[in-house]
Protein backbone atom coordinates (compact mmCIF):
# COMPACT_ATOMS: atom_id res chain seq x y z
CA UNK A 1 0.00 0.00 0.00
CA UNK A 2 2.80 2.28 0.76
CA UNK A 3 4.10 1.56 -2.68
CA UNK A 4 0.77 2.53 -4.23
CA UNK A 5 0.65 5.79 -2.27
CA UNK A 6 4.22 6.65 -3.20
CA UNK A 7 3.46 5.85 -6.81
CA UNK A 8 0.29 8.00 -6.76
CA UNK A 9 2.08 10.90 -5.14
CA UNK A 10 4.90 10.65 -7.71
CA UNK A 11 2.36 10.68 -10.55
CA UNK A 12 0.55 13.65 -8.93
CA UNK A 13 3.87 15.52 -8.63
CA UNK A 14 4.63 14.82 -12.27
CA UNK A 15 1.18 16.04 -13.24
CA UNK A 16 1.65 19.12 -11.06
CA UNK A 17 5.09 19.72 -12.57
CA UNK A 18 3.60 19.30 -16.09
CA UNK A 19 0.80 21.76 -15.31
CA UNK A 20 3.38 24.24 -13.90
CA UNK A 21 5.46 24.04 -17.08
CA UNK A 22 2.34 24.51 -19.19
CA UNK A 23 1.37 27.61 -17.18
CA UNK A 24 4.90 28.95 -17.60
CA UNK A 25 4.83 28.41 -21.38
CA UNK A 26 1.39 30.03 -21.72
CA UNK A 27 2.55 33.00 -19.61
CA UNK A 28 5.71 33.42 -21.76
CA UNK A 29 3.65 33.31 -24.99
CA UNK A 30 1.21 35.94 -23.63
CA UNK A 31 4.13 38.17 -22.55
CA UNK A 32 5.74 37.81 -25.98
CA UNK A 33 2.47 38.71 -27.75
CA UNK A 34 2.02 41.71 -25.43
CA UNK A 35 5.56 42.93 -26.19
CA UNK A 36 4.95 42.61 -29.94
CA UNK A 37 1.66 44.49 -29.67
CA UNK A 38 3.31 47.29 -27.67
CA UNK A 39 6.12 47.55 -30.21
CA UNK A 40 3.72 47.77 -33.15
CA UNK A 41 1.54 50.32 -31.31
CA UNK A 42 4.50 52.53 -30.39
CA UNK A 43 5.86 52.42 -33.94
CA UNK A 44 2.47 53.36 -35.38
CA UNK A 45 2.07 56.19 -32.83
CA UNK A 46 5.46 57.77 -33.57
CA UNK A 47 5.16 57.42 -37.34
CA UNK A 48 1.66 58.88 -37.44
CA UNK A 49 2.74 61.77 -35.20
CA UNK A 50 5.59 62.56 -37.62
CA UNK A 51 3.11 62.71 -40.50
CA UNK A 52 1.02 65.29 -38.66
CA UNK A 53 4.04 67.51 -38.01
CA UNK A 54 5.07 67.25 -41.65
CA UNK A 55 1.54 68.16 -42.73
CA UNK A 56 1.44 71.12 -40.36
CA UNK A 57 4.83 72.29 -41.64
CA UNK A 58 3.52 72.12 -45.21
CA UNK A 59 0.44 74.10 -44.19
CA UNK A 60 2.59 76.77 -42.51
CA UNK A 61 4.81 77.03 -45.58
CA UNK A 62 1.78 77.45 -47.80
CA UNK A 63 0.27 80.04 -45.45
CA UNK A 64 3.49 82.09 -45.15
CA UNK A 65 4.29 84.30 -48.13
CA UNK A 66 7.15 83.02 -50.24
CA UNK A 67 10.34 85.02 -49.78
CA UNK A 68 11.38 86.73 -52.95
CA UNK A 69 14.83 86.24 -54.38
CA UNK A 70 17.49 88.85 -53.72
CA UNK A 71 18.06 91.71 -56.15
CA UNK A 72 21.44 93.48 -56.15
CA UNK A 73 22.20 97.01 -57.28
CA UNK A 74 25.83 98.11 -57.60
CA UNK A 75 26.56 101.71 -56.66
CA UNK A 76 28.99 102.98 -59.28
CA UNK A 77 31.43 104.68 -59.22
CA UNK A 78 33.20 103.49 -56.09
CA UNK A 79 33.32 105.79 -53.07
CA UNK A 80 36.73 107.38 -52.41
CA UNK A 81 37.33 109.30 -49.18
CA UNK A 82 40.47 110.62 -47.59
CA UNK A 83 41.67 110.74 -43.99
CA UNK A 84 44.37 112.83 -42.34
CA UNK A 85 46.11 110.61 -39.82
CA UNK A 86 49.09 112.02 -37.89
CA UNK A 87 49.89 114.45 -40.70
CA UNK A 88 49.81 111.65 -43.27
CA UNK A 89 47.19 111.50 -46.01
CA UNK A 90 45.24 108.18 -46.11
CA UNK A 91 42.63 107.00 -48.61
CA UNK A 92 39.76 104.55 -48.59
CA UNK A 93 38.01 103.19 -51.67
CA UNK A 94 34.76 101.27 -51.18
CA UNK A 95 32.54 99.63 -53.78
CA UNK A 96 29.03 98.87 -52.57
CA UNK A 97 26.07 96.76 -53.59
CA UNK A 98 22.57 97.15 -52.22
CA UNK A 99 20.61 93.95 -51.56
CA UNK A 100 16.82 94.22 -51.77
CA UNK A 101 13.90 91.84 -52.26
CA UNK A 102 11.56 94.09 -54.27
CA UNK A 103 12.84 95.45 -57.58
CA UNK A 104 10.08 98.09 -57.82
CA UNK A 105 11.03 99.58 -54.46
CA UNK A 106 14.70 99.56 -55.46
CA UNK A 107 13.84 101.45 -58.65
CA UNK A 108 11.93 104.01 -56.54
CA UNK A 109 15.03 104.47 -54.38
CA UNK A 110 17.24 105.13 -57.44
CA UNK A 111 15.52 108.50 -57.84
CA UNK A 112 17.15 109.55 -54.55
CA UNK A 113 20.62 108.24 -55.42
CA UNK A 114 22.40 111.64 -55.13
CA UNK A 115 21.15 112.04 -51.56
CA UNK A 116 22.05 108.44 -50.77
CA UNK A 117 25.60 108.84 -52.11
CA UNK A 118 26.01 112.10 -50.14
CA UNK A 119 24.99 110.45 -46.86
CA UNK A 120 27.34 107.53 -47.49
CA UNK A 121 30.30 109.81 -48.33
CA UNK A 122 29.69 111.75 -45.12
CA UNK A 123 29.50 108.50 -43.16
CA UNK A 124 32.68 107.09 -44.69
CA UNK A 125 34.71 110.29 -44.24
CA UNK A 126 33.73 110.56 -40.56
CA UNK A 127 35.37 107.23 -39.72
CA UNK A 128 38.69 106.68 -37.98
CA UNK A 129 41.35 105.08 -40.17
CA UNK A 130 42.65 102.99 -37.25
CA UNK A 131 39.21 101.50 -36.62
CA UNK A 132 38.73 100.57 -40.28
CA UNK A 133 41.91 98.50 -40.35
CA UNK A 134 40.30 95.80 -38.16
CA UNK A 135 37.64 93.35 -39.43
CA UNK A 136 35.33 94.44 -36.60
CA UNK A 137 35.66 98.07 -37.71
CA UNK A 138 34.79 97.14 -41.30
CA UNK A 139 31.72 95.20 -40.15
CA UNK A 140 30.61 98.09 -37.95
CA UNK A 141 30.95 100.45 -40.93
CA UNK A 142 28.90 98.08 -43.08
CA UNK A 143 26.16 97.98 -40.46
CA UNK A 144 26.18 101.78 -40.15
CA UNK A 145 25.94 102.09 -43.94
CA UNK A 146 23.00 99.66 -43.95
CA UNK A 147 21.24 101.68 -41.25
CA UNK A 148 21.87 104.94 -43.13
CA UNK A 149 20.49 103.56 -46.41
CA UNK A 150 17.47 102.03 -44.68
CA UNK A 151 16.74 105.31 -42.88
CA UNK A 152 16.87 107.27 -46.14
CA UNK A 153 14.72 104.70 -47.93
CA UNK A 154 12.14 104.82 -45.14
CA UNK A 155 12.00 108.63 -45.34
CA UNK A 156 11.79 108.88 -49.10
CA UNK A 157 9.88 105.78 -50.21
CA UNK A 158 8.06 104.75 -47.04
CA UNK A 159 9.57 101.25 -47.01
CA UNK A 160 12.89 99.81 -45.85
CA UNK A 161 13.58 98.63 -49.42
CA UNK A 162 17.25 97.69 -48.80
CA UNK A 163 17.92 94.62 -46.69
CA UNK A 164 21.72 94.92 -46.58
CA UNK A 165 24.58 97.01 -47.86
CA UNK A 166 27.46 94.80 -49.01
CA UNK A 167 31.09 95.77 -49.55
CA UNK A 168 32.24 94.36 -52.88
CA UNK A 169 35.63 96.09 -52.72
CA UNK A 170 37.35 97.69 -49.73
CA UNK A 171 40.80 99.28 -50.09
CA UNK A 172 42.68 101.24 -47.42
CA UNK A 173 45.94 102.98 -48.26
d(CA 25, CA 109): 84
pLDDT at 151: 94
pLDDT beyond 60 at 8: no
Contact, 71 vs 99, CB < 8 A? yes
- Express each pLDDT in 23-37 by its tens digit: 889 988 898 888 888
The structure's pTM equals 0.60
Q: How buried is 149 (Cβ within 10 angstroms: 0-12 exposed, 13-18 middle, 19+ buried)?
A: buried
What band does 78 get if pLDDT is binned at 50, 70 and 90?
A: very high
pLDDT at 155: 92
d(CA 148, CA 80): 18
- DSSP, collapsed to helix, strand or coil, labels residue 63 as helix
For residues 79-95, average pLDDT: 90
pLDDT beyond 70 at 51: no
pLDDT at 146: 95
d(CA 36, CA 31): 9
- Express each pLDDT in 139-161 by its tens digit: 999 999 999 999 999 998 888 88
- DSSP, collapsed to helix, strand or coil, labels residue 58 as helix
Amino acid sequence: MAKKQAKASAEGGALAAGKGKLKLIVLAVVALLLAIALSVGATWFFLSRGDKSAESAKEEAAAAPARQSAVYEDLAPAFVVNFNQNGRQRYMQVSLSLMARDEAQLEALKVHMPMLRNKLVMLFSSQSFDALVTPVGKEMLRQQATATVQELAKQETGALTVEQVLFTNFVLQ
